[in-house]
Structure 1
Amino acid sequence: MRKNAKKATKRTCSMALAAVLAFAPVTVFGATDTANHWANAVISDWESKGLIKGYEDGTFKPDNSVSRAEFVTMMNNVLKNDAEGTVSFTDVKETDWFYQAVAAAVNAGYCNGYEDGTFKPSATISRAEAAVMIANAMGLEQDAAGAEGFSDEIPVWAVGSVGAVVKAGYMSGYPDGTFGAAKSITRAEAVSSLNRVLTQNDETVAATEVVLTEKEAVLEDQVVAGNVVIDSTVEKATLRDVEIQGDLVIRCAEDDKVVLDNVTVKGRIIIEKTGVEVSFSGKTDVKEVQVGAVCELTADDFEGSIDTVRITKEVAEKGDVVIDVPVDEVIVEKKASVKVKENVDTIQIAEDAEGSELDIAKDVVVDLVKADGKVEISGDGTVKKLEANADGITYHRDVTINKTEVASGVEAPTVVDDYVSGGGGSSLLRNIL
């Protein structure tokens, strides 16, 4: 059993840091393996400031685990902890690179060793242990109730700290409802969590990541240099007059709502959980909405723009992706049932999205449907031009298609008389003329 750590005094954070990941061999800017990673924005920001290091092969390895010695080194740098002292752990020698870091952390009071007299510097640190260290370092009040919403078992010695760091916004859980207490914290998670410690406790530092965890969360009048994450604990989130230079990651789910009012997202909106409604209003501008789950996109006095809605995962059997907001381009990469209720310039059905269903509402105009995969088109709207590049394309008689272009060697689209609605979309009755 580990010893209880002493509570440390809260320290003022600063961006005047040495390289935080001092254990990595060489500074690498623009790591080759982080471009599509959820923590890319904060990793890139810290790399550009010389706060973290990557590896000689050009990678950062964001999902690699972190040792206890490495984590206390990061903690010391973020907190500017240079406390002097000695330690007498049997596995920590004065000649070890981490000796002074361990000594500083122990003497500052936010971590300790084990009852057998060891510190276990090379052991990977769990998310529960990381939560305890952060809570102690920041002087947070224990909050066991804050951890009750997680479905995994959290050790008794860590429950209060987990609840405290989640409430403070320093750490969050996973989309499946777990905290991952027993999991090793990854390099990306460590950087992300400590970045929140840094930015939320130094008013001179522009935030590079914000995590919303309150049941009814509000974020207003801010410029966020990195990502904004709406956690699974949130039921309604309102973002107003916010610029997000990274991604907006939405993890709240069915019957939950996210309102974006005068919000600019320079990265992507990433929807991870089923059933959420995202409402766009004011001059909200978004480059791309990445849809990984059934959802509804709506508009309320919307004067902005959405460049692309991209459906990246197969969701056809789970319900409809409803697009009730004007969009320049919809790209269906995987099989989906899509209901379009506002005008769209272009809808692309990828080859891998074969079997998708597209319902175009009355009075809605789609300038171009480019079908590289088999698709069923229903509804009462208008398609100005249909490019048929795959066999088996069908459309309901009530859909108006002004012009059809059929690729060489491809069967012409077929008109279907009737259809009935149900489940995840329309099931066309094969009364083909």
Structure 2
Amino acid sequence: MIIKKIAVLGLCISLTINSVAYAGVLDSIIDESTTVEELDTEDSNEKEDSATEDLSEEDTTVEEPAVITAKFSDIEGHWAKNWINEAIKLGFVSGYDDGTFKPDRTITRAEFSKLLNGALKTEKKADFNFTDVKSSEWFYDEVRKSVASGFFSGYENNTFRPNNPIKREEVAKVVSSAMTTGGVDGEGATLLSDYGTVQEWAKPSVNAVYNKGYILGYPDKTYQPAKALTRAEAVKIIYEIIENENIEYGINITNYDELYTSAVVVGDINILDSVGTGNVYLKNVVVLGDIVIHATKANTVQLTDVTARNIVVKGENNPVKIVK
């Protein structure tokens, strides 16, 4: 079985979606005739849909990966050495031609997109209308993948700003769209001394990723939301996601009256006709793509703590009910 399943035969429950924890991720319902999806662009000072962080001095209380021999000439003795080497083994980072990694160099929005896409092995691409991302640029397809997965949208002036360093609060927003949040409620980052300086659009994400342990505060009890992320910090954050999330790849739901729970699904979830007239339950699931309902006789699809870029209902006059 692709996702952990728990039988819920005869269960009748009312589920609600946690929209706060996933603010900024598109969750629209469209029919099969829809051909163009409008991107949700946001202002950088109020609604930016990305996130960043700097961990060089951050409180890294999580267990470090096993020590292995450093490959790069400039990471020996660096706090992130073991995370960098593990990321190399997983294949989502590389260094420079001179044999260095430059761990303390800041990372841009485009570069962070490439790292996250590579680590999660995203393939689905979406069109966009960013005026500053040209098809000739090396990051063109990386931005398309990030948009398709719901990691990034853009700014209200239709720009992506690919070469801007990504900030800690922006990284929190991106990371929150690639993790499950069930059972991680708490005050978390709200107890840090500068939490009040976090922009409103980023606060739910900053607190969620803090509670999950992916982006913590500094020893002086600050978060420093506007600080630019470094390459080393980006590697650590993404490595922790890969190690701690239950990541699945594009699934088909064929059984009815079962609960599909606790997973990050890369690609689409397809609900097929074989579910018959039964119900489908999804809980604490992040879909880095679409939920596509092919079933034309299903009674209800019930969602709680579920996010997806779109919910697509196939079939003309499909009577399926979607309960959130």
Unaligned runs of 5+ in 2: 1-22, 28-68, 249-324
Matches within 5 A, 1:204-219: none
Q: CA RMSD in A?
A: 2.5
Aligned 8 A contact 2:180 2:245 in 1:
no
Percentage of pairs with the same residue: 39
Structure 1 residue 31 and structure 2 residue 36: aligned?
no
Instruction: Report SS of the residue matched to 1:137.
Output: coil
Structure 1 residue 145 and structure 2 residue 187: aligned?
yes
Aligned 8 A contact 1:84 1:103 in 2:
yes
Q: Which has the higher contact order (CA 8 A, sep 6+)?
A: 2
Structure 1 residue 67 and structure 2 residue 108: aligned?
yes
Aligned 8 A contact 1:143 1:159 in 2:
no
Matches of 1:191 and 1:198 in 2, distance apart? 11
Instruction: Report SS of the residue matched to 1:121.
Output: coil
Q: 1:91-120: per-residue Cα shift (whole Å, max 9, x none)?
A: 011221111111111122221100111000
| 21, 25, 32: which one aligns with 1:6 | 25
Instruction: Report SS of the residue matched to 1:188.
Output: helix
Aligned 8 A contact 1:7 1:139 in 2:
no
Matches of 2:167 and 2:186 in 1, distance apart? 18
Q: How far 1:48 moved relative to its partner?
A: 4.0
1:175 alignment partner AA: P
Counterpart in the other structure of 2:146: 105
Counterpart in the other structure of 1:40: 81
Structure 1 residue 168 and structure 2 residue 168: aligned?
no
Structure 1 residue 184 and structure 2 residue 228: aligned?
yes
Aligned 8 A contact 1:43 1:188 in 2:
yes
Aligned 8 A contact 2:94 2:101 in 1:
yes
| 90, 94, 109: which one aligns with 2:135 | 94
2:98 alignment partner AA: D
Matches of 1:144 and 1:95 in 2, distance apart? 45
Q: Decide which moves more: 154-163 or 41-50.
A: 41-50
Matches of 2:161 and 2:185 in 1, distance apart? 27
Aligned 8 A contact 1:47 1:53 in 2:
yes
Q: CA, structure 1 residues 43+106, in 2 after alignment: closer, same or farther (shift >3 Å)?
A: same
Q: Which structure's residues are more often helix, by fraction?
A: 2
Aligned 8 A contact 2:106 2:165 in 1:
yes
Structure 1 residue 155 and structure 2 residue 196: aligned?
no
Aligned 8 A contact 1:5 1:110 in 2:
no
Q: How far 1:203 moved relative to its partner?
A: 8.6
Matches of 2:236 and 2:70 in 1, distance apart? 17
Aligned 8 A contact 2:72 2:99 in 1:
yes
2:96 alignment partner AA: Y
Aligned 8 A contact 1:29 1:47 in 2:
no
Q: How far 1:30 moved relative to its partner?
A: 1.6
Q: How far 1:179 moved relative to its partner?
A: 1.3
Q: How far 1:46 moved relative to its partner?
A: 2.2
Structure 1 residue 129 and structure 2 residue 173: aligned?
no
Q: How far 1:185 moved relative to its partner?
A: 0.8
Q: How far 1:202 moved relative to its partner?
A: 4.3
Q: How far 1:51 moved relative to its partner?
A: 3.1
Matches within 5 A, 1:389-428: none
Q: Which structure's residues are more often strand, by fraction?
A: 1
Q: How far 1:136 moved relative to its partner?
A: 1.4
Q: How far 1:29 moved relative to its partner?
A: 6.0
Aligned 8 A contact 2:70 2:76 in 1:
no
Aligned 8 A contact 1:143 1:161 in 2:
no
Matches of 1:123 and 1:143 in 2, distance apart? 32
Q: What is the TM-score with the length of structure 2 in the denominator?
A: 0.52
| 90, 93, 118: which one aligns with 1:52 | 93
Question: Which structure's CA Rg is the greater one?
Answer: 1
Matches of 2:151 and 2:233 in 1, distance apart? 19
Matches of 1:49 and 1:72 in 2, distance apart? 17
Q: CA, structure 1 residues 7+127, in 2 after alignment: closer, same or farther (shift >3 Å)?
A: farther
Instruction: Report SS of the residue matched to 2:177.
Output: helix
